[in-house]
Amino acid sequence: MSDECGAYYTERNFSVLYEEDLSSSLQSFYEHTAQELDDKIYKLTDKEKSYYKKLLSKISHESNAYLKLGADRYIGFKMLILKKTPTVISKESSTEKSVEL
Protein backbone atom coordinates (compact mmCIF):
# COMPACT_ATOMS: atom_id res chain seq x y z
CA MET A 1 0.00 0.00 0.00
CA SER A 2 2.89 2.38 0.63
CA ASP A 3 3.71 2.65 -3.07
CA GLU A 4 0.05 3.12 -4.00
CA CYS A 5 -0.07 6.67 -2.60
CA GLY A 6 2.87 7.89 -4.66
CA ALA A 7 1.63 6.09 -7.77
CA TYR A 8 -1.83 7.64 -7.39
CA TYR A 9 -0.42 11.17 -7.55
CA THR A 10 2.16 10.33 -10.21
CA GLU A 11 -0.69 9.19 -12.48
CA ARG A 12 -2.31 12.59 -11.92
CA ASN A 13 0.73 14.56 -13.12
CA PHE A 14 2.45 15.17 -9.79
CA SER A 15 6.03 14.36 -8.97
CA VAL A 16 6.68 13.05 -5.47
CA LEU A 17 9.43 15.13 -3.87
CA TYR A 18 9.26 13.53 -0.43
CA GLU A 19 7.26 10.74 1.19
CA GLU A 20 7.14 9.67 4.83
CA ASP A 21 4.99 7.14 6.69
CA LEU A 22 3.71 8.72 9.90
CA SER A 23 1.43 5.85 10.94
CA SER A 24 3.37 5.40 14.17
CA SER A 25 2.07 8.79 15.38
CA LEU A 26 -1.56 7.64 15.21
CA GLN A 27 -1.37 5.66 18.47
CA SER A 28 -0.51 8.73 20.53
CA PHE A 29 -3.00 10.86 18.54
CA TYR A 30 -5.93 8.54 19.30
CA GLU A 31 -4.86 8.10 22.93
CA HIS A 32 -4.75 11.89 23.34
CA THR A 33 -8.09 12.31 21.53
CA ALA A 34 -9.82 9.72 23.72
CA GLN A 35 -8.42 11.31 26.88
CA GLU A 36 -9.47 14.81 25.80
CA LEU A 37 -12.96 13.58 24.95
CA ASP A 38 -13.31 11.93 28.37
CA ASP A 39 -12.11 15.10 30.11
CA LYS A 40 -14.28 17.55 28.16
CA ILE A 41 -17.54 15.64 27.70
CA TYR A 42 -18.51 16.15 31.34
CA LYS A 43 -18.08 19.91 31.03
CA LEU A 44 -20.61 20.17 28.19
CA THR A 45 -24.19 21.14 28.90
CA ASP A 46 -27.01 18.82 27.86
CA LYS A 47 -27.83 21.21 25.02
CA GLU A 48 -24.22 21.13 23.76
CA LYS A 49 -24.13 17.32 24.01
CA SER A 50 -27.32 17.13 21.99
CA TYR A 51 -25.98 19.56 19.37
CA TYR A 52 -22.62 17.75 19.01
CA LYS A 53 -23.97 14.23 19.47
CA LYS A 54 -22.94 12.93 16.03
CA LEU A 55 -19.49 14.48 16.22
CA LEU A 56 -18.84 13.19 19.75
CA SER A 57 -20.00 9.71 18.75
CA LYS A 58 -17.76 9.73 15.70
CA ILE A 59 -14.70 10.83 17.70
CA SER A 60 -15.39 8.17 20.32
CA HIS A 61 -15.92 5.47 17.70
CA GLU A 62 -12.75 6.28 15.76
CA SER A 63 -10.63 6.37 18.91
CA ASN A 64 -12.05 3.12 20.26
CA ALA A 65 -11.78 1.38 16.90
CA TYR A 66 -8.12 2.30 16.60
CA LEU A 67 -7.12 1.66 20.21
CA LYS A 68 -9.28 -1.32 21.16
CA LEU A 69 -10.53 -3.04 18.00
CA GLY A 70 -7.32 -3.28 15.94
CA ALA A 71 -8.09 -0.66 13.31
CA ASP A 72 -4.37 0.13 13.24
CA ARG A 73 -4.03 -2.72 10.74
CA TYR A 74 -6.24 -0.81 8.29
CA ILE A 75 -5.54 2.87 8.99
CA GLY A 76 -2.34 4.63 8.02
CA PHE A 77 -1.05 8.18 7.82
CA LYS A 78 1.33 9.39 5.11
CA MET A 79 2.89 12.72 4.34
CA LEU A 80 3.66 13.55 0.74
CA ILE A 81 5.31 16.63 -0.65
CA LEU A 82 4.24 16.94 -4.26
CA LYS A 83 4.96 19.19 -7.19
CA LYS A 84 2.44 19.62 -9.96
CA THR A 85 3.89 18.66 -13.32
CA PRO A 86 2.94 21.30 -15.88
CA THR A 87 0.60 20.17 -18.64
CA VAL A 88 0.97 21.55 -22.14
CA ILE A 89 -1.65 21.40 -24.85
CA SER A 90 -0.03 20.50 -28.14
CA LYS A 91 -0.91 22.56 -31.21
CA GLU A 92 -0.99 19.42 -33.38
CA SER A 93 -3.60 17.69 -31.28
CA SER A 94 -6.06 18.77 -28.64
CA THR A 95 -4.95 16.11 -26.14
CA GLU A 96 -3.07 17.18 -23.05
CA LYS A 97 0.48 15.95 -22.63
CA SER A 98 2.56 16.13 -19.51
CA VAL A 99 5.91 17.73 -19.94
CA GLU A 100 8.55 17.89 -17.24
CA LEU A 101 10.51 21.08 -17.30
pLDDT digits (tens, 9 = 90+) for 52-69: 999 999 999 999 999 999
pLDDT digits (tens, 9 = 90+) for 27-56: 999 999 999 999 999 899 999 999 999 999
Assess whether pLDDT exceeds 60 at residue 95.
Answer: no
**Domain ranges within the chain, ordered by starting residue:** 1-22+77-101, 27-75
Rounded CA separation 32/17 (Å): 31
Rounded CA separation 79/18 (Å): 8
Q: Indicate the DSSP class of residue 12.
A: T
- pLDDT number for residue 17: 94
Confidence of residue 89 (pLDDT cuts 50, 70, 90): confident
Confidence of residue 86 (pLDDT cuts 50, 70, 90): confident
* Selection from 28, 36, 77, 27 nearest residue 59 by Cα: 36
